[in-house]
Chain A
Amino acid sequence: MTANLKVSKKNSSTLWSRFSTLRELGIGVVTLVLIILVTFRSNAFLTVDNFRDIFMAIALTVIVACGQMMVIVIRGIDLSVGSVVGLVGMTVGMMIRDQMNFSMPLAVFIGIVLGFILGAINGLIITKGKVPPIVATLGTMSIYRGLVVVVSNGQWVDSYRIPAAFLQITRMPIFGVPALIVYAVLIAIVTAVFLKYSRTGRQIFALGSNPNAAEVAGIPTDRIKFIVFCISGTLAGFAGVLWASRFGSVVNDMGAGFELQTVAACVVGGVSVMGGAGSILGVVMGALLIGIVGNSLTISNINPFLRLTVNGFLILLAVVFDTYIYRRLGKSK
């Protein structure tokens, strides 16, 4: 009675196709083209050292963007991540200042827990207070940033007061690769697997895809929102510790404006601003693309102030493209 089962054309779907769609392919192509173009322009570009610099530069963005991506998927935005980075960085910085024997794992752990708490606060304001994410995180963005000065009493933590071991957290080589890059890669992989292979992960996408249907379908919408914001806060907290380690000093405005970079990485990486669609692979590629652009501008000796403009232009381009694809593929009524 039935025709033969044609579930998948090739039984061995590649790792790539398992995690991506057309959108990521597009970004990949653009990135490749860009690399080729820049290589022609300057032969300082295609070197291991340079690429290591690029990866180091985008690692923190990737880590926090993994959380931001989930928030955007559920049709929200977390504007507080930059302030979380600052607050956690400053708190941990104050704790380890002059404490040359402070346990590094403990410092990291404290940072993560603090980030989780700050994210949970966002989650509560949004689910219990019924405040829209953009408004809630706009508020906490200011509150957390204000607390940075309270915690620091207006002071900084200069580099000579930071334990050497702390600086090593991001620098120590793991199989030859700077630890920071390894952390970013691990977090990206874990997040990607979580989103794809866990029921909660699928519920996150469902919630963003059709919030009205989600309730009816029995998805615990408030719980999901809360979880997502906790994750975002936790990753931002972790990034706060790493930030202090990487830059070797802790100042009051660290992380200011960082949230926009994470949003940019998501948007350029194909995370739909309408919600419900996006991938970690895309986010990584988005961050990479932005990083390469910045790097190539530096290498090519183009005016560094142009960087911000080019950055903004890229984001706009990505959103236009995103909306175009969204309209083509769906809502063909």
Chain B
Amino acid sequence: MTKPSNTLPVLQMQHIYKSYEGVKALVDVQLELYPGEVHALVGENGAGKSTLVKIIMGVIQPDSGEILFNNELVKMDNPQIAQKMGIAAIYQEASLFPDLSVAENIFLGHEPLTKVGAIDWRKMNEMAVKPLEELGIKLDVKRRVVTLTIAQMQMVEIAKALSFDAKILIMDEPTSALTSHEVADLFGIVRKLRDAGKTVLFISHRLEEVFEVADRVTVLRDGHFVETKPVKGMTREELVRAMVGRNIDNMFPKLKVKRGELVLEVKNLTKAGIFNDISFKLYKGEILGLAGLVGARRTDVATTLFGIAPADSGEVYIDGERVSINGPQKAMALGMAYVPENRQIHGLVLKSNITKNITLPVLKEFSKALIINQRKEAGRAQEMHDKLEVKSAGLDQLAQELSGGNQQKVVLAKWLSTRPHILMLDEPTRGIDVGTKAAVHELMSKLASEGIAILMISSEMPEILGMSDRVLVMCEGRLTGEFTQKEATQEKIMHAATARSLANGDTVLLKPAEKA
């Protein structure tokens, strides 16, 4: 059926289940790896790829299911067992020792010894060259790893894995920090590994890379196994459809709102190494969805517009006038509000109560001569609290005691109390239960109908499709798609979200995002 050759699989995973606190990360997932193949693992954010890999590496254990290595049942209780069996993960610099040399890193723990039991440095340095040479890499093995580029560190990782006689090498988004030249080098090495009978498990969001280097591909969706097929003969559309095809029957209804005037226009906004040439318009009463994969730099665009990290070039116009937003105060004065992605770190003062959190940005409204009128303040807080139907034990309750959904409501309440014209929401319903999600969406619709312009950054496809009047798509810092609500489909959005670059074809080397 899909066997590359008549050999036994080196790794088989069957009926794997894994849940975290009620969230089903993996449901009846299977995976079959053969020696001498490059196997891609794809899926949207949250599809379960990382969880599956962690199970293979022995970092976490499945709730149920079987793992067979060379047809023998195994239990991967810890990473050491996985390593002994010959499973290696290529993590880039995370698992190398920067102050030690390349040769030392490759041989740490199993350095060659002289007859008296001392480390044989000369032999170690000579032996270190071999695996690197087999991969076609020229590197001074005496250099300390800290002086290497990310691409070179990856090579050292691979060489290290080979020195442990690894059979399966797992690479998780290995090309995210590489130039196109280095990617080509890496793929050459991946092919060499395959030809030498190794298995490379390759996780990537970049579909063109899957088509370029993989033999077979396994698709996961929402924690479920979709299919495993040979890459040859597959079209990009088929792959995308496998990744996103789902029944969207819980789309949240959006009120039809008449679009008002142009309130925000962004032209050629650029921040070197982060995002490039971003231009779009935002109208009163509309919800503009900004879709893309993690790392697309959508949050960076929002924080730049809000003045947290100014751009290098480009123009921003609010209500037709050119503005320069050099800080959040200025942004707020212009009527902007930004509800951040990480509500606990950037949105709330966890140890403060609800009142203080809600009124924080508008304290001036209730204070005369430096003294806050507490009654007025509490009044406003109560008003917002009720308007958003925050479920709490009272205004005095500390923010950290609230549930995720209610915390998000408090953050929204806070920003709504500034009466913004332009509201930017960054993943507004992430990690929130379905009920509160619906409530937040209703609120968004209401706000839009009141004339507020909303920019909604979201990684959840149903939310993008259900709530947006228009959809913009970003990929790696560039705008790669724009659709009206009618035009937008999951496939189109996913295509645009995984398109590597637009016109020129050369890649901008982006600094790796700080948080995945």
Listed in ascending order, the chain A residues whose CB lies under 8 Å from chain B are 2-3, 5, 7-8, 18, 193, 196-199, 202-203, 205-206, 208-210, 212-214, 216-219, 272, 276-277, 329-331, 333
Can you identify 29 A-B contacts, CB atoms within 8 angstroms? A3-B138, A7-B141, A8-B125, A193-B118, A196-B119, A197-B118, A198-B117, A198-B118, A198-B119, A199-B111, A202-B108, A202-B111, A203-B108, A203-B109, A206-B97, A209-B97, A209-B98, A210-B95, A213-B96, A214-B97, A218-B80, A218-B83, A272-B99, A276-B98, A329-B144, A330-B147, A331-B146, A333-B511, A333-B512
> B96-113 interface mask toward A, CB cutoff 8 Å, 1 = contact, 0 = none?
111110001000110101
Q: How far is the CB of A11 from chain B (nearest CB, A)?
A: 8
* Cα separation A99 to B122 with both chains bound (whole Å): 53
Interface contact B109-A199, CB-CB below 8 Å: yes
Q: Quick one: closest B residue to A211, CB to CB?
A: B97
A206 near B100 with CB under 8 A, answer yes
Are B80 and A202 touching (Cβ within 8 A)? no
Rounded to whole Å, the gap between the CB of A326 and the closest CB of chain B is 9
Is B133 within 8 A of A217, CB to CB? no
CA–CA, A76 and B512, complex, Å = 31
Chain A contacts for B138, CB-based, 8 A: 3
The answer, yes or no, to whether B79 is at the interface (CB within 8 Å) is yes
Chain B residue total in the interface (Cβ 8 A): 32
Residues from chain A with Cβ under 8 Å of B511 in the complex: 333
- In the bound assembly, the distance between CA atoms of A196 and B100 in angstroms comes to 11
A7 to B102, CA, bound (A): 12
Closest 5 CB pairs of A and B: A330-B146, A197-B118, A276-B99, A209-B97, A209-B99
> With contacts A8-B142, A218-B80 known, is A210 near B147, CB below 8 A?
no
A7 touches B129 (CB 8 A): yes
Task: Say if the beta carbon of B369 comes within 8 Å of chain A.
Answer: no
In Å, the complex CA distance between A217 and B80 comes to 8
B100 touches A217 (CB 8 A): no
From B141, which residue of chain A is reached at the shortest CB distance? A7
Contact residues in B for A203 (Cβ distance below 8 Å):
108-109
Partner of A206, one of B83, B108, B129: B108
Chain A's nearest CB lies how many Å from the CB of B161? 12
**8 Å CB contact of B100 from A18, A202, A218, A272:** A202
Of chain A, the residue at the smallest CB distance from B83 is: A218
B126 part of interface (Cβ distance < 8 Å)? yes
Residues of A within 8 A of B144 (CB): 329-330
Q: Would you call A216 and B98 a contact (CB within 8 A)?
A: no
Check A217–B99 contact: CB distance below 8 A.
no
Contact mask for chain B residues 189-230; partner A; CB cutoff 8 A; 1 contact, 0 none:
000000000000000000000000000000000000000000
Bound complex: CA A202 to CA B100 (Å): 9
